[in-house]
Amino acid sequence: MAQLFGFTIQKALKDQGPREKTFTDPTSDDGAIEIAGGGFFSSILDTDGREKSDLDLIRRYRDISMQAECDAAIEDIVNEGIVSNLNDIPVNIDLHNLPYPEKIKRRIRAEFSEVLRLLNFGEKGHDIFRRWYIDGRIYYHKIIDSKDPKKGLLQLRHIDPTKMRKVKETQKDPDPKNYGIEMVTKVDEYFIYNDRGFSTASGSGNNQGIRIALDSVVYVPSGLLDHNSGRVVSYLHKAIKPVNQLRMIEDAIVIYRISRAPERRIFYIDVGNLPKIKAEQYLKDVMNRYRNKLVYDATTGEIRDDRNHMSMLEDFWLPRREGGRGTEITTLPGGSNLGEIDDIVYFQRKLYRSLNVPISRLESENGFNLGRATEITRDELKFTKFVQRIRKKFTPLFTDLLRTNLLLKGIISPEDWPRMQEHIQYDFMEDGHFAELKDAELLNDRIQTLDSIQSYIGTFYSKEYVLRKVLNMTDAEIKEMRDQIAKELDTDPMDGGISIPDGGDGITRYPQDGDGGIIPPEQMPDYEDPEQDGVPDDAVKFGNKGDNS
- Cα 161 to Cα 132: distance, rounded to the nearest angstrom: 10
Q: In this predicted structure, which of 17-21, 378-382, 400-404, 411-415 has the lowest mean pLDDT? A: 17-21
Per-residue pLDDT band at 188 (split at 50, 70, 90): confident
Buried/exposed code over 520-549 (b: 16+ C-beta within 10 A; e: otherwise): eeeeeeeeeeeeeeebeeeebeeeeeeeee
- Cα 242 to Cα 350: distance, rounded to the nearest angstrom: 6
pLDDT in tens, 307-320: 544 444 567 777 77
Q: How far is CA 258 from CA 121, 249, 292, 297, in A?
A: 48, 14, 13, 12
- Cα 240 to Cα 59: distance, rounded to the nearest angstrom: 12
Alpha-carbon 327 to chain mean position: 67
Per-residue pLDDT band at 487 (split at 50, 70, 90): confident
Of 238, 251, 246, give the one whose Cα is nearest residue 133: 238
pLDDT at 513 > cutoff 80 = no
pLDDT at position 14 is: 42
* Three-state DSSP string of 388-452: HHHHHHHCHHHHHHHHHHHHHCCCCCCCCHHHHHCCCEEEECCCHHHHHHHHHHHHHHHHHHHHH
pLDDT at position 84 is: 78
- Cα 92 to Cα 108: distance, rounded to the nearest angstrom: 12
Per-residue pLDDT band at 297 (split at 50, 70, 90): confident
pLDDT at 50 > cutoff 70 = no
- Strands ordered across the beta sheet of 153-159: 153-159, 137-144, 217-221
Answer yes or no: are the C-beta atoms of 399 and 420 closer than 8 Å: no
What pairs with residue 220 in β-bridges?
138
Answer yes or no: are the C-beta atoms of 25 and 34 closer than 8 Å: yes
Q: Is 259 exposed, middle or buried (0-12, 13-18, 19+ CB in 10 A)?
A: middle
pLDDT at 402 > cutoff 60 = yes
pLDDT in tens, 139-181: 999 999 888 889 999 999 999 999 888 888 888 777 777 776 7
pLDDT at 224 > cutoff 70 = yes
CB proximity list for 50: less than 8 A, separation 6 or greater = 33, 229, 230, 231
Answer yes or no: are the C-beta atoms of 510 and 519 closer than 8 Å: yes
pLDDT at position 207 is: 52
What is the distance in angstroms between the CA of the first residue and the CA of the last residue of the chain?
104
pLDDT winner (highest mean) among 28-32, 130-134, 477-481: 130-134
Per-residue pLDDT band at 403 (split at 50, 70, 90): very high
Alpha-carbon 440 to chain mean position: 27
- In whole numbers, what is the pLDDT of the chain averaged over residues? 77
pLDDT in tens, 413-438: 888 898 898 899 999 987 655 666 77
* Three-state DSSP string of 321-350: ECCCCCCEEEEECCCCCCCCCHHHHHHHHH
- Cα 71 to Cα 370: distance, rounded to the nearest angstrom: 24
pLDDT at position 515 is: 64
pLDDT at position 501 is: 56
Return the higher-pLDDT residue of 84 and 117. Answer: 117
* Three-state DSSP string of 469-500: HHCCCCHHHHHHHHHHHHHHHCCCHHHCCCCC
pLDDT winner (highest mean) among 210-219, 329-338, 376-385: 210-219
- The proportion of the chain whose per-residue pLDDT surpasses 70, expressed as a percent, equals 69
pLDDT at 521 > cutoff 70 = no
Return the higher-pLDDT residue of 265 and 127. Answer: 127
pLDDT in tens, 227-251: 887 889 999 999 999 999 999 999 9
pLDDT at position 219 is: 94
pLDDT at position 138 is: 95
- pTM of the predicted protein model: 0.69
pLDDT at 474 > cutoff 70 = yes
pLDDT at 213 > cutoff 70 = yes
Per-residue pLDDT band at 306 (split at 50, 70, 90): low
Per-residue pLDDT band at 43 (split at 50, 70, 90): very low
Handedness of CA 15, 16, 17, 19 (dihedral sign): negative
Q: In this predicted structure, which of 13-22, 465-474, 476-485 has the lowest mean pLDDT? A: 13-22
Q: In this predicted structure, which of 29-38, 338-347, 481-490 has the lowest mean pLDDT? A: 29-38
Q: Per-residue pLDDT averaged across 36-65, rounded?
A: 64
CB proximity list for 306: less than 8 A, separation 6 or greater = 293, 294, 295
pLDDT at position 72 is: 92
Per-residue pLDDT band at 22 (split at 50, 70, 90): low
pLDDT at 482 > cutoff 80 = yes
Q: 126: helix, coil or strand? A: helix
Per-residue pLDDT band at 293 (split at 50, 70, 90): low
Beta strands in 37-163 (DSSP E): 91-94, 137-144, 153-159
- Cα 283 to Cα 531: distance, rounded to the nearest angstrom: 110
Q: 276: helix, coil or strand? A: helix
CB proximity list for 401: less than 8 A, separation 6 or greater = 115, 118, 119, 140, 142, 153, 156, 218
